[in-house]
Chains A and B, each alone.
Chain A
Amino acid sequence: MKRIAITVLALAWAFSFAAAQEKLSIAAAANLSAVKDQLGAAFARMYPQYQAEFTFGSSGSLVTQIKNGAPFQVFMSADTGFAQDLVQAKMTTGPAKVYAVGKLILLTTRNLDLSKGLAILEDPGVTHWANCNPETAPYGRAAREALIKTGIYESVAPKLVTAQNVTQALQFTLTSADAGFVNKSALFSKEVQAYDKEGTFWFEVDPSLYAPIEQAFVVLAASGDSKPAAAFADFLSSSEAQAVFAAFGYGKP
């Protein structure tokens, strides 16, 4: 009896591995962190046999990690440049494909007169504003570009605090900075929901002030002949995935 029980347990253990979903590791730009759960769930509905696991960072640092052998199968960049960088390094299985267009917002948790638009940063009431590093984070680059185009970058630069990725820019904005440039999808993360009042706590930066943040992904060559990666690539261009991105404030590619 005991032997049978052990055999059954051993078989169950062995089969639990056979039945386990195949894992897919995705390196994703920090702005996608709010989308993760829904995107993962939509992917699981379409391909129940695979399980997506996300690692977040600034696009620049993820590219560095990938170039140095980080074992990711898909890279979801916050722009096309960083994805293109890997294509040129011949580290991808195909070209970079745009999956969503990011939108930039200025967020504050204080009583600021946002009707002034970007010029509010010149206000003496704003002593610190946060932006992510323009060299490594596409949202940071977009914000800098918008301020330069508006002609106020020089005057507000002394009050700038630089975050290492867009999520940290959000942390700064929620704690010590008076305002900060973040991705629109950040409005959907838990800590921010109290401030999701357009015009009071945030406004969308005029998209004509910056080059569109076309977020592209690539399937990495190091993944070999990865079926989960190919499935995920298919999924990203599906209407299901697009619906998730639209729900989180991203534009269509």
Chain B
Amino acid sequence: MELAPFLVSLRLGAWVTILLLVVCFPLAWAFARARAGWTVFLEALTSLPLVLAPTVLGFYLLVALSPRSPVGAFFQSTFGLRIAFSFVGIVVGGCVSGLPFMLTSLKTGILGVSPGLLEASYTLGKGRLRTILRIVIPNMRAALFAGIVTTYAHAIGEFGIVLMIGGSIPGVTKTVSIAVYEHVEALDFSGAQVYSIALVAASYVAILALLFMQRRGARR
């Protein structure tokens, strides 16, 4: 068994989770507070990756990130970076497919913070940033944790998109799920077992942690 696919998967999960956390919080805040009717269309768009086949996303990303497309050409000429077949590429893919997981968790969390608390904070003269940092975030810990765990686990389990845009480069884009696939294809079932058992164990622990956290939250 090689260690490299695990490291790639863990790094992928970490990057996707951190990036989505940063991107999704303001977005979730806006959606939770939105009064305008049209935002529902935007929200539907962000949930699309939840139901869309990963092959559709992979196909569009493959085309969009190719140096022949405007986006791909921009990165190629500006940063000398070919997004498809690079670690950046699978992070982009992971972010697109993980977006709804983080976003819905955070939105649920933000909606769960009682408006009374917010108003009290504002009345006491605290600004919005302080209120978010001191009131909202501490009060939505469970949802925050759920968002992080599901996004991370989902990114590690991501297969379709990585398969389509990754190119299975050892140490760069070859994740554990790709390693499993390749071992099965090569009829090396025992090799596939090792990676699969590790994935099952890690996923189980993640879900377990999530449930513990939820129970603790419910008891309080």
Instruction: Tell me the smallest distance from the CB of A107 to a CB of chain B, in Å.
Output: 15
Residues 43-70 of A at the B interface (beta carbon under 8 Å)? 58, 60-61, 63-64
B185 touches A172 (CB 8 A): no
The one of B68, B72, B165, B187 that contacts A64, using a Cβ cutoff of 8 Å: B187
Q: Does B65 contact A (CB under 8 A)?
A: yes
Q: Does A146 contact B (CB under 8 A)?
A: no
A162 touches B168 (CB 8 A): yes
A151 to B147, CA, bound (A): 50
Which chain B residue has the least Cβ–Cβ distance from A134?
A: B186
Q: Does B142 contact A (CB under 8 A)?
A: no
Provide the residues of chain A in CB contact with B187, threshold 8 Å: 60, 63-64, 85
A239 to B83, CA, bound (A): 47
A161 to B174, CA, bound (A): 10
Residue interface bits B63-92, CB-to-A below 8 A is 1, else 0: 101111000100000000010110000000
Instruction: Tell me the smallest distance from the CB of B212 to a CB of chain A, in Å.
Output: 37
Count A interface residues, CB 8 Å.
Answer: 23
Residue interface bits A168-184, CB-to-B below 8 A is 1, else 0: 10011001110000000
Instruction: Tell me the smallest distance from the CB of B154 to a CB of chain A, in Å.
Output: 22
Q: Does B167 contact A (CB under 8 A)?
A: yes
Instruction: Tell me the smallest distance from the CB of B60 to a CB of chain A, in Å.
Output: 11
Provide the residues of chain B in CB contact with A128, threshold 8 Å: 82, 85, 167
B185 touches A164 (CB 8 A): yes
Provide the residues of chain B in CB contact with A135, threshold 8 Å: 182, 185-186
Instruction: Tell me the smallest distance from the CB of A65 to a CB of chain B, in Å.
Output: 10
Q: A161-B167, A172-B167 are in contact. Are A177 and B85 (CB under 8 A)?
A: yes
B66 touches A176 (CB 8 A): yes
Instruction: Tell me the smallest distance from the CB of B186 to a CB of chain A, in Å.
Output: 4
The one of B66, B181, B186 that contacts A175, using a Cβ cutoff of 8 Å: B66
Instruction: Tell me the smallest distance from the CB of B185 to a CB of chain A, in Å.
Output: 4
Instruction: Tell me the smallest distance from the CB of B81 to a CB of chain A, in Å.
Output: 10
Instruction: Tell me the smallest distance from the CB of B161 to a CB of chain A, in Å.
Output: 13
B169 touches A162 (CB 8 A): yes
Interface centre among A58, A162, A176 (most CB of B within 10 A): A176
Q: Does A130 contact B (CB under 8 A)?
A: yes
A60 to B184, CA, bound (A): 9
Q: Does A160 contact B (CB under 8 A)?
A: yes
A62 to B115, CA, bound (A): 58
A130 to B186, CA, bound (A): 19
Q: Does B153 contact A (CB under 8 A)?
A: no
Interface centre among B164, B169, B185, B187 (most CB of A within 10 A): B185
Q: A61-B185, A175-B62, A176-B66 are in contact. Are A127 and B82 (CB under 8 A)?
A: yes
Q: Does B163 contact A (CB under 8 A)?
A: yes
The one of B67, B168, B169, B186 that contacts A176, using a Cβ cutoff of 8 Å: B67
Q: Does A28 contact B (CB under 8 A)?
A: no
Instruction: Tell me the smallest distance from the CB of B90 to a CB of chain A, in Å.
Output: 12
Residue interface bits B167-195, CB-to-A below 8 A is 1, else 0: 11100000000000110111100000000
Provide the residues of chain B in CB contact with A175, threshold 8 Å: 62-63, 66, 68, 84
Instruction: Tell me the smallest distance from the CB of B66 to a CB of chain A, in Å.
Output: 4
Provide the residues of chain A in CB contact with B181, threshold 8 Å: 164
Q: A160-B169, A162-B168 are in contact. Are A176 and B84 (CB under 8 A)?
A: yes
Q: Does A223 contact B (CB under 8 A)?
A: no
A58 touches B85 (CB 8 A): no
A58 to B182, CA, bound (A): 11
Q: A64-B184, A135-B182, A175-B62 are in contact. Are A164 and B68 (CB under 8 A)?
A: no
Provide the residues of chain B in CB contact with A108, threshold 8 Å: none
Q: Does A186 contact B (CB under 8 A)?
A: no
Going nearest first, the 8 A-B pairs with the smallest beta carbon separation are A161-B167, A176-B84, A175-B66, A162-B168, A135-B186, A136-B185, A176-B66, A60-B185
- Additional A-B contacts beyond A161-B85, A176-B65 (16; CB < 8 A): A60-B186, A63-B187, A64-B184, A64-B185, A133-B185, A135-B185, A136-B182, A162-B169, A163-B167, A163-B168, A164-B181, A164-B185, A175-B63, A175-B68, A176-B67, A176-B165
Residues on B lying within 8 angstroms of A by beta carbon are: 62-63, 65-68, 72, 82, 84-85, 163-165, 167-169, 181-182, 184-187
14 A–B contacts from the bound complex (CB under 8 Å): A64-B184, A127-B82, A128-B85, A128-B167, A130-B167, A133-B168, A133-B185, A135-B182, A161-B85, A161-B169, A163-B167, A175-B68, A176-B66, A177-B85
